[in-house]
Amino acid sequence: MNTGHAKTEDLVDEVDIHEYAKRGAKPPPARRYRLQIDRKPYTWPGVSITGRDLLELAGKLPVESFVVRQRFTDGRVVKIALDEKVDLTAPGIEHFFTFPAEVVNG
């Protein structure tokens, strides 16, 4: 039965998603994905990552106090919700960046 997932022996060891974005190519299935958060390199052991995972990886705690956004090579910027999954094999992901969540005085 084909589950749509690559076999372990078919996986690339590590993929830099920024490099694939610059080439306009879709990253292949891999054991680990190298990504950038706030211009710093990180490695993630899976094909998808949540907003919460990105903030924790970058040491932005408590995660509820921060917002994470995803930048694409075409200039689009998309906010990632804490529990939203990002497919690291999606083409065009340039990097992620964080900033403090807005505080509303009231």
| pTM for the predicted model, two decimal places | 0.86
pLDDT over threshold 90, residue 42: yes
d(CA 24, CA 2): 28
pLDDT over threshold 90, residue 49: yes
- The CA-based diameter of the chain, rounded to the nearest angstrom, is 57
For residue 30, what pLDDT is reported? 95
Using 50, 70 and 90 to split pLDDT, how confident is the model at 7?
low
Identify which of 99, 75, 95 has the alpha carbon closest to the alpha carbon of residue 86. Answer: 95
Residue-wise pLDDT for 60-97, tens only, equals 999 999 999 999 999 999 999 999 999 999 999 999 99
